[in-house]
Amino acid sequence: MTPLLDARPVAKAVLAVVSIAIATSEDPTQLAYDRSQVPGTGRNDGDLPTLFAQVDVERRFDESANRDDGTSGSTSWRVIVGGVGLTWREASWVLAEATAALEDVWHTTDDGHQFNCRFETYRAPDDQDDGRYYGAVTFTCAT
Amino acid sequence: MTTIRFVHDIGDLVSDLETIAGQVRPRAAALVARKVNHGREVARGIAREASGPHGTNYYKRITSEMTGDLQGEIGPTGEVEGRAVGAGWRHGENTDMARTADIIGPSLAADAGDMAADLFWPGT
């Protein structure tokens, strides 16, 4: 399989999984967003969601690129899931749900690359300059 | 009948190990110090590259220090630790130090292996 050198397929898979994990029927905006596509930020239309996850995926320098099944991938990625909410509790909930959905579960990109997310760091939510709470959990994975 | 006689003496090995035991700690400490300094410069480079207009001088807050013979720390310091450029979620998570560890970790491991090899087989 051709090595994956583009973060977007990984991000798309992560966004789908986290969105499902935090979605509710009461608030259709309670989803996971690519950081550049959060409604109400930058030039994006819409109002800022009350509670949401924002996802970043960046390529990682990792010569081994190991997976949990003992195989080695060709490219490593760092997956960063930020939890944003009006309270500490809300932001923590997002991080907990995202972690449960991502960690130790195998995911597949649209073009068939499989990966599993391994926990790397956790930053507990704290209040930000705009009064919202933000925390982040990061994972690493290899495709 | 020809006889070949082997004489086995581990005296040289004992001597080597005694010498090595005295060299390990100072050489390892020097290696860690060198890597801590290298890591600080790597982290500063990443921070300079990654920071936006409000964080132009953030990289200057990344310092390093030895916290023991064989351990050191690299990271942002100062009164505004962790909030040097304000605190917001819009710019995502700062991964400067994680990226630094990705580079320095394997480099330290490789150099430690080379150091150990050089203790037993100098110059090879």
Q: How many CB pairs under 8 A join A and B?
A: 46
Q: Which A-chain residues 22-61 have CB contacts (< 8 A) with chain B?
A: 35, 38, 41, 54, 56, 58, 60-61
A120 to chain B, closest Cα gap in Å: 9
**Residues A21-32 as b or e (16 or more Cβ within 10 Å = b):** bbeeeeeebbbb
| Side chain identity, residue A112 | G
Q: What pLDDT was estimated at residue B103?
A: 93
Could you tell me the domains of chain A?
A: 8-38+47-142 (3.30.2000.20)
The pTM for the full model equals: 0.83
Place of tokens 């809300």: A90
pLDDT digits (tens, 9 = 90+) for A104-143: 899 999 999 999 999 999 999 999 888 899 999 999 998 8
> Does the interface ipTM go beyond 0.95?
no
Beta-carbon separation of B102 and A60 below 8 A: yes
Q: What pLDDT was estimated at residue B33?
A: 97
Report the alpha-carbon distance of residue A71 to residue A91 in Å, rounded. Answer: 34
- Tens-of-pLDDT digits for all 124 residues of chain B? 788 887 777 777 888 888 899 999 999 999 999 999 999 999 999 999 888 777 788 899 899 999 999 999 999 887 655 555 667 778 888 889 999 999 999 999 999 999 999 998 887 7
